[in-house]
């Protein structure tokens, strides 16, 4: 390690008022010093200064700001909307067939809350097949490739904690039948956390306390990793954005893509109707004159419970983190850095001070991808069926758990089996029909009825319908 590099870094941090990070530097071994210098060199001190300046500002508030529900393209459609949907579906299919779509997966999480040691995407969720979240998503992309005879570029955002394990998992499963050259892995950025006085926190001697920069960081990571350039060179015009924990996500949805493209939108969203006024989920809506996501805690009780003339919740557009983004819109948002606001999350952190670990108040900074909606001059908010498109795997048990996701998959697929005039297997001890349909077979009941299917009955009487090879 060059002494001049170390001296220059030390001077930079001292000028920024962050020289304390070198407090234990002299006690570090040569390798530890080299790692720490590499970590420090990656820190954007201008960004640190901007974030520190936010600490003295009042907390975000929507008080006094007009909140309104979005204009929905509804699930229940009149004749005009049905015709519009058909036109959009055809437009979306044209874009897919022309190879104008890249698929953007946010997969930076670990599955520790699920009792699994590894990337969340490697967690087995198939109720009969045991297939991982990664494989279920991959088979949806294989279906797009098979239907339209095109390459399916897949941009997979990992985190530093799971990047190598994710790549190894894909390699070990032969990329699930996809072309390795069409899959790009890139890691989300980590940024320093701070104390209330704006000082960077440390996790140990020679180690900063860093945290992921939020799901909005996927946009900057696309640019910094060269993936935006790759997309441009491939002729990609739109990104289909989805998160790894939702096995029902439909990244190749021609209707959504077509509505988004025909509207000339920079960013669009899928939403599901809230189950009830008390469901603690953010809703898409306008905040003042800007579209965005209104967090549950920011929506006053009278608005949460307000209903329209047909009796539906006015603020019912539950955000499910599925979006379409135009490539040139992302380029504009990442030119010269990420052009999104930072949100502050305060929590207790175990940090290194004066030679020991102590608990302190800490602040991490996150960018949220849905804030980009406010930068999009036009946007589509498409309401979809929760049972068909949203069942996230977040918790070890209870709501939004692996158990509920598997049950939702079984209930959905059993309904498809019945619609084809077949009989699903008997209810199991959890009260669901143990049946699973390969994403390569169908995305909905109509697609299932139209395709040949090849059932396998397992030793436990489970029913698995798969693509015949």
At residue 462, does pLDDT exceed 80?
Answer: no
Percentage of the chain beyond pLDDT 90 is 87
User: What is the reported pTM?
Assistant: 0.94
Q: Is 285 helix (H, G, I), strand (E, B) or coil?
A: strand
pLDDT of residue 458: 73
Distances (CA, A) of 50 to 13, 341, 374: 15, 11, 21
Render pLDDT for 192-234 as a digit per residue (tens, 0 to 9). 999 999 999 999 999 999 999 999 999 999 999 999 999 999 9
At residue 168, does pLDDT exceed 90?
Answer: yes
Domains defined for the chain, CATH in brackets? 3-42 (no CATH), 67-393 (3.90.550.10), 395-469 (no CATH)
Render pLDDT for 355-379 as a digit per residue (tens, 0 to 9). 899 999 999 999 999 999 999 999 9
Nearest Cα neighbor of 425 from 404, 403, 410, 438 is 410
At residue 54, does pLDDT exceed 60?
Answer: yes
More confident residue, 208 or 58: 208
Confidence of residue 468 (pLDDT cuts 50, 70, 90): low
Confidence of residue 301 (pLDDT cuts 50, 70, 90): very high
Nearest Cα neighbor of 243 from 406, 108, 443 is 108
Q: Where are the beta strands (DSSP E) in 173-213?
A: 183-187, 190-192, 202-204, 207-208, 210-212
- Between helix 217-224 and helix 327-334 the angle, nearest 10°, is 90
Helix (H) or strand (E) holding 381: strand 381-383
Render pLDDT for 97-145 as a digit per residue (tens, 0 to 9). 999 999 999 999 999 889 999 999 999 999 999 999 999 999 999 999 9
pLDDT of residue 16: 95
Measured distance CA(260)–CA(96) in Å, rounded: 13
Tokens matching residue 295 = 């967090």
Render pLDDT for 306-358 as a digit per residue (tens, 0 to 9). 999 889 999 999 999 999 999 999 999 999 899 999 999 999 999 999 889 99
Contact 423, 436 (CB under 8 A): no
């Amino acid at each position: 390690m060059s002494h001049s590099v170390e001296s220059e870094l030390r001077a930079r941090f001292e000028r920024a008022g962050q020289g304390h990070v070198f407090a234990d530097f002299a006690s570090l071994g040569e390798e530890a010093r080299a790692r720490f210098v590499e970590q420090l060199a990656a820190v954007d001190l201008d960004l640190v200064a901007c974030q520190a300046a936010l600490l003295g500002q009042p907390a975000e508030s929507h008080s006094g700001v007009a909140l309104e529900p979005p204009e929905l393209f509804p699930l229940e459609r009149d004749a005009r909307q049905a015709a519009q949907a058909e036109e959009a579906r055809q437009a979306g299919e044209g874009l897919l067939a022309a190879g104008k779509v890249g698929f953007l997966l946010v997969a930076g999480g670990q599955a520790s809350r699920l009792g699994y040691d590894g990337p969340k995407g490697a967690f087995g969720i198939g109720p009969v097949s045991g297939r991982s979240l990664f494989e279920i998503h991959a088979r949806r992309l294989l279906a797009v490739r098979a239907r339209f005879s095109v390459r399916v570029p897949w941009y997979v955002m990992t985190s530093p904690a799971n990047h190598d394990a994710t790549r190894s998992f894909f390699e070990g499963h032969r990329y699930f039948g996809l072309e390795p050259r069409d899959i790009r892995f890139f890691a989300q950025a980590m940024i320093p956390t701070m104390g209330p006085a704006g000082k960077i926190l440390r996790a140990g001697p020679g180690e900063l306390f860093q945290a992921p920069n939020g799901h909005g960081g996927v946009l900057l990571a696309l640019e910094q990793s060269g993936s935006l350039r790759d997309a441009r060179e491939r002729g990609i015009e739109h990104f289909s954005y989805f998160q790894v924990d939702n096995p029902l996500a439909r990244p190749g949805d021609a209707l959504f893509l077509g509505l988004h493209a025909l509207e000339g939108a920079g960013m669009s969203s899928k939403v599901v109707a809230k189950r009830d006024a008390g469901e603690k989920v953010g809703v898409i809506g306008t905040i003042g004159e800007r579209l965005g996501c209104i967090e549950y805690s920011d929506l006053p009780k009278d608005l949460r419970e307000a209903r329209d003339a047909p009796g539906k919740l006015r603020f019912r557009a539950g955000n499910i983190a599925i979006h379409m983004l135009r490539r040139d819109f992302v380029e504009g948002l990442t030119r010269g850095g990420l052009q999104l606001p930072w949100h502050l999350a305060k929590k207790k952190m175990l940090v290194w001070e004066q030679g020991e670990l102590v608990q302190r108040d800490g602040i991490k900074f996150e960018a949220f991808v849905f804030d980009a909606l406010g930068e999009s001059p036009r946007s589509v908010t498409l309401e979809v069926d929760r049972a068909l498109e949203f069942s996230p795997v977040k918790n070890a048990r209870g709501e939004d758990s692996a158990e509920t996701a598997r049950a939702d998959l079984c209930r959905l697929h059993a309904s498809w089996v019945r619609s084809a005039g077949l009989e699903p297997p008997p209810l199991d001890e959890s009260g669901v029909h143990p049946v699973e349909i390969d994403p390569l077979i169908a995305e909905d009941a109509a697609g299932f009825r139209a395709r040949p299917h090849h059932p396998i009955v397992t030793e436990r009487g489970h029913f698995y319908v798969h693509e015949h090879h």
